[in-house]
Amino acid sequence: MADLAGANGQREDFRVVGKHNLPGKLSYALATGIAKFGIDYVVPGMAHAKFLRSPYANARIRSVGTARARAVPGVLDIVTWEDEDVKKLGAGGFGPPAAYIDDTADMENAEVGVVVIAENEDICEEALRALDVDWEILPHVVDVLKGRQDAAPIARQRQDAPSMFAPPPSQPKRGNVSYAATVQGDLAQGFKEADHIVEYTLKLPAFLSGMPNPPASVAWWESDPYHGEGPDLHIEGAVQRRENVGMMYGVPPEKTVQTGLFQGGRYCDWGLRKSQEITPLLAKRVGRPVRCSNTREETFDFLMNERYMYLKVGFTNEGLITAVDDFSIADNGAYGSSSFGAANDQGYGPYYTLKCKNISQRMDVVDTNRGKMYLSGQHCPFNWDSGTMAIYLIAEKLGLDPIDVAKLNLHGPDSQDDTRPVPSFEACMEAGRELMGWQWHRSGERTLPDGRRHGASFRYQICPRHAFSGYECKL
Amino acid sequence: MESKIGAGMTLTQEAAQRRVADIISAIPVVLTEYRCPLCARVFPGYSGLREHYEAEHAGAIAPIVVMLMLNGKGCEVLIEPHWTLKRTLQFRLGLTGTKHMCDKGVCGSCTVIMDGRPVLACQILTAECEGRDIQTIEGIAADPKWKPLIDAYCRWDAMQCGYCTTGFLVTAKALLDRNPNPTERECREALAGNICICGTYPRHSQAIIEAAAAMSGGGVDG
């Protein structure tokens, strides 16, 4: 055992370390049904709210008549984008400053224009059906490659402001397409030094974030001297981001109260939905707690947008990568999509885990009306998908274990010039190899006893979402 | 406004068991007020609500009173005729352990046991549940007999985000009711209608088999 310095020293009587099958702190709350998620909250006197949602992929509301909807028994209030309350409410979450809701929808099912508050959800839906909406239907883009063409209709009626994370674009936006490029080193020289060159294309389809608990919140206003003067905002269902909601309403963190702990399954998706942000405004208007919940269909958001990739990799007989030429076309989705996974991802230094410095990575990022992504990452770092494929292709070509290829190409802990191994990475890999009984062989060399092929993959950028990735790959 | 209802911060099996027992006991057996779902007016008796409907909401379908047998306890509940059992459990009875996920009978998160069979509460009208014996996760968790199952799920950490967990547990309980010593294959077959995006599937069989051993007097390695 290592001679650890510090309080633990040679201690061996840990209560948790080295033990298996220990309940987590919240396990009993989850297993017994006590745990409450945003959608579970029901409070006395609660009203319900629902958004008007666009039946079109790209549309604008010319006008909306609310008189018939207001006359539906049980309707408490109807809010439109023209209300001063709404105009004052800036959009939370991702994207540049913008109206919280307005007259424009650039994807099907987007919240647009109107929110109805009523005694229950059925009445909300009846009132929404009673709205007299005059839609201006606009041409749309739901095919990334067609959206990239010069003649394509413009997908977004609102343009993104520069992201605080994004580097300047490599060239001006044209039509729906933003451009990004990260180039370093001497690509031509890198390919000259290579003993082998492989090229391939890879298509990564969009896939759904698929959170199991539909996003929802319940909010109300109350006074509690414990938190000081003025009203407190109590909101349930905005776990981790209650302070962001408080900020939308000018409420300081100490007066934004939330007792719930459980946020459910969210993988690389931290964006609040409008249903989680609107309830404080509505609760203030009707003087009652208000609940707003998405259905599962209304949460059909991308965890990862569609992407087409082309990669050309040069490498030596030892498996050392000498040059990478990477080009991809990525779906930028509708307005308000997370800026992660788009042009700015280049700024995170794709491939910076490699010793190789001859790298070109270019990406065309195409606005579409297909959907929205709340947070993810498509390229950072070491281009997870195409980079991992490169390792496998090198391994197949040279008959090397892909883990060894990855280790050979990973630079040391200090810089890209550092050729030393990374101790923690080496230790993890060895432990993993032993645990799995990892014995790599070329594809198709062996089969299971019943003749079936089998597969196990290695990648050193691990993320649960990749378990759901589907690939179409042309080698 | 009551705010303590939300936290759900319960660290031990005993505390959780007490809490779910409290939730069940807080459900009134007899209705004492009848709230109009259209205008929120409250009436002391059902006849008053009916008369109000005839006078104020002519043509609308009035709510009905249904007697449910939930977790061994009879209780009156005022619902609209189209309400699902899932909706009634959450919005009338405060039983939020039955989860709303797909609302289409696909995911298993709203599983309850009705007359001994696991069924999907999002697909059943409450009006059809009168006189049926219904068990929810709260009833199972409050029953000391099922402590080994709850314990095993927690020991095996057969959950990640935890949203679908109760649906799995209710299905597991129904399995053990009819088969006290299931094999792994039988566990998998029984749980085939429950979906977990976190991918906790292997742990469920392990937990159920361990619980089965504990409940039949076998030891638990730990």
Question: Which helix (H) or strand (E) element contains residue A216?
Answer: strand A216-222
**Structure tokens, A461:** 């950028």
> Which residues in chain A are classed under CATH 3.90.1170.50?
39-138+210-299
What is B58-71 written as a DSSP string?
TTSPPPEEEEEEET
Q: State yes or no: pLDDT of A342 exceeds 50.
A: yes
Which chain A residues are within 8 Å of B103, Cβ to Cβ?
295-296
Between A470 and A82, where is the model more confident?
A: A82
Structural contact between residues A156 and A78, judged by C-beta atoms closer than 8 angstroms: no
Question: A39-138+210-299: which CATH architecture?
Answer: Alpha-Beta Complex (3.90)
Q: State yes or no: pLDDT of B64 exceeds 90.
A: yes
Average pLDDT, stretch A440-454? 84
Query: Given CB atoms, is B61 within the 8 Å cutoff of chain A?
Result: no
Q: State yes or no: pLDDT of A167 exceeds 80.
A: no
Question: Across the interface, which of A31, A32, A260 has its CB nearest the CB of B7?
Answer: A260
Amino acid, single-letter form, for residue A66: T
Distance CA B65, CA A234 (A): 33
Between A223 and A164, where is the model more confident?
A: A223
Average pLDDT, stretch B7-15? 67
Chain B: give the shortest CA distance to residue A150, in Å.
40
- Which residue(s) pair with A135 in the sheet? A61
Q: pLDDT confidence of A297, banded at 50, 70, 90?
A: confident
Neighbouring CB atoms inside 10 A of A104's CB total 22
Distance CA B155, CA B210 (A): 10
Chain A: give the shortest CA distance to residue B131, in Å.
24
pLDDT tens digit sequence for A3-40? 445 555 667 777 777 777 778 888 999 999 999 999 99
Verify whether the Cβ–Cβ distance A265 to B2 is below 8 Å. Answer: no
Give residues with Cβ within 8 angstroms of A410, minimum separation 6.
Answer: A353, A354, A355, A421, A422, A425, A460
Between B18 and A340, where is the model more confident?
A: B18
Q: At what angle do helices A402-409 and A384-398 cross, to 10 degrees?
A: 120
Question: Across the interface, which of A41, A122, A266 has its CB nearest the CB of B6?
Answer: A41
Rg, Å, chain A Cα set = 26
pLDDT tens digit sequence for A119-141? 999 999 999 999 999 999 999 99
In a mutational test of the B interface, the residue from A20, A28, A220, A235 whose CB has the highest number of chain B CBs within 10 Å is A28
A440 class by beta-carbon count within 10 Å (0-12 exposed, 13-18 middle, 19+ buried): middle
Distance CA A341, CA A343 (A): 7
Distance CA B68, CA B27 (A): 11
**Considering only A169-183, A339-353, B82-96, B156-170, which range has the smallest mean pLDDT?**
A339-353
Neighbouring CB atoms inside 10 A of A122's CB total 17
Chain B: give the shortest CA distance to residue A295, in Å.
8
Buried b (16+ CB within 10 A) or exposed e, B175-195: bbeeeeebeeeebeebbebbb
Mean pLDDT of chain B: 92
Chain A: residue nearest B8 by CA? A35
Which chain B residues are within 8 Å of A266, Cβ to Cβ?
161
Q: pLDDT confidence of A161, banded at 50, 70, 90?
A: low
Distance CA A382, CA A388 (A): 8
Query: Given CB atoms, is B90 within the 8 Å cutoff of chain A?
Result: yes
Verify whether the Cβ–Cβ distance B163 to A265 is below 8 Å. Answer: yes
For CA atoms A183, A185, A188, A192, the dihedral sign is negative
Q: At what angle do helices B201-215 and B165-178 cross, to 10 degrees?
A: 40
Q: State yes or no: pLDDT of A340 exceeds 80.
A: no
Verify whether the Cβ–Cβ distance B101 to A34 is below 8 Å. Answer: no
Q: pLDDT confidence of A2, banded at 50, 70, 90?
A: very low
Q: Order of strands, edge to edge, in the sheet holding A111-118?
A: A75-80, A111-118, A47-53, A290-293, A216-222, A232-236, A256-257
Give residues with Cβ within 8 angstroms of A187, minimum separation 6.
Answer: A323, A325, A358, A359, A360
Verify whether the Cβ–Cβ distance A39 to B100 is below 8 Å. Answer: yes
Distance CA B104, CA B108 (A): 9
pLDDT tens digit sequence for A58-75? 999 999 999 999 999 999
Q: pLDDT confidence of A163, banded at 50, 70, 90?
A: low
Structural contact between residues A359 and A382, judged by C-beta atoms closer than 8 angstroms: no
Verify whether the Cβ–Cβ distance A33 to B19 is below 8 Å. Answer: no
Residue B112 backbone dihedrals phi, psi, to 5 degrees: -130, 170
Give residues with Cβ within 8 angstroms of A330, minimum separation 6.
Answer: A144, A305, A306, A307, A308, A341, A342, A363, A364, A365, A366, A378
Between B170 and A421, where is the model more confident?
A: B170
Question: What is the structure's pLDDT at A203?
Answer: 86
CATH of domain A177-209+303-446+457-474: 3.30.365.10
Distance CA A334, CA A350 (A): 24
Average pLDDT, stretch B111-121? 97
Q: State yes or no: pLDDT of A386 exceeds 90.
A: no
Q: Which of A88, A180, A181, A134 shows the shortest CA–CA distance to A366?
A: A180
Verify whether the Cβ–Cβ distance A23 to B197 is below 8 Å. Answer: no
Mean pLDDT of chain A: 84
pLDDT tens digit sequence for B192-203? 999 998 889 999
Question: Which helix (H) or strand (E) element contains residue B77?
Answer: strand B73-79
Question: Which helix (H) or strand (E) element contains residue A274?
Answer: helix A274-277
> Which residues in chain A are classed under CATH 3.30.365.10?
177-209+303-446+457-474
Buried b (16+ CB within 10 A) or exposed e, B56-91: ebeeeebbbebebbbbeeebbbbbbeebbbbbbbbb
CA distances from A123 to A84, A117, A279, A309 (A): 25, 9, 17, 47
pLDDT tens digit sequence for A138-152? 999 999 999 999 999
Q: Which of B31, B32, B25, B52 shows the shortest CA–CA distance to B41?
A: B52
Quote the Cα angle for A394-A397-A400, to 5°. 70
Q: State yes or no: pLDDT of A91 exceeds 70.
A: no
Distance CA A130, CA B180 (A): 54
pLDDT tens digit sequence for B125-178? 999 999 999 999 999 999 999 999 999 999 988 998 999 999 999 999 999 999
Q: Which of B157, B134, B142 shows the shortest CA–CA distance to B66?
A: B134
Q: State yes or no: pLDDT of A467 exceeds 60.
A: no
Q: State yes or no: pLDDT of A432 exceeds 60.
A: yes
Verify whether the Cβ–Cβ distance B9 to A289 is below 8 Å. Answer: no
Verify whether the Cβ–Cβ distance A234 to B3 is below 8 Å. Answer: yes
Q: Which of B110, B114, B172 shows the shortest CA–CA distance to B141?
A: B172
Q: At what angle do helices B165-178 and B147-155 cross, to 10 degrees?
A: 130
What domains are there in chain B, each with its CATH number?
12-140 (3.10.20.30), 143-215 (1.10.150.120)
Structural contact between residues A40 and B166, judged by C-beta atoms closer than 8 angstroms: no
Question: What is the structure's pLDDT at B3?
Answer: 35
Between A307 and B19, where is the model more confident?
A: B19
pLDDT tens digit sequence for A174-225? 999 988 887 889 999 999 999 999 998 888 888 787 789 999 999 999 988 8
In a mutational test of the A interface, the residue from B80, B96, B111, B112 whose CB has the highest number of chain A CBs within 10 Å is B96
Q: Are strands A232-236 and A216-222 parallel, antiparallel or unpaired?
A: antiparallel
Structural contact between residues A327 and A181, judged by C-beta atoms closer than 8 angstroms: no
Tell me, what's the ipTM?
0.93
Q: Which of A360, A33, A92 shows the shortest CA–CA distance to A249?
A: A92
Give A321's Cβ-side CA count (13 Å radius). 36
Between A285 and A12, where is the model more confident?
A: A285
CA distances from A187 to A184, A270, A316, A345, A408 (A): 8, 37, 15, 21, 20
Between B89 and A309, where is the model more confident?
A: B89
CA torsion A295-A261-A264-B71 (nearest 10°) is -80
Question: What is the structure's pLDDT at B13?
Answer: 84
- A positions 240-279 inside 8 Å of B (CB): 257-267
Ramachandran area for residue A382 (φ above 0: left; ψ -120 to 50: alpha; else beta) = left
Verify whether the Cβ–Cβ distance A261 to B7 is below 8 Å. Answer: yes
Which chain B residues are within 8 Å of A267, Cβ to Cβ?
197
Query: Given CB atoms, is A287 within the 8 Å cutoff of chain B?
Result: no
Q: pLDDT confidence of A468, banded at 50, 70, 90?
A: very low
Question: Across the interface, which of A32, A41, A295 has its CB nearest the CB of B103?
Answer: A295
Q: Which of A183, A64, A49, A27 shows the shortest CA–CA distance to A116?
A: A49
Average pLDDT, stretch A92-120? 84
Structural contact between residues A299 and A273, judged by C-beta atoms closer than 8 angstroms: yes
**Structure tokens, A104:** 């424009």
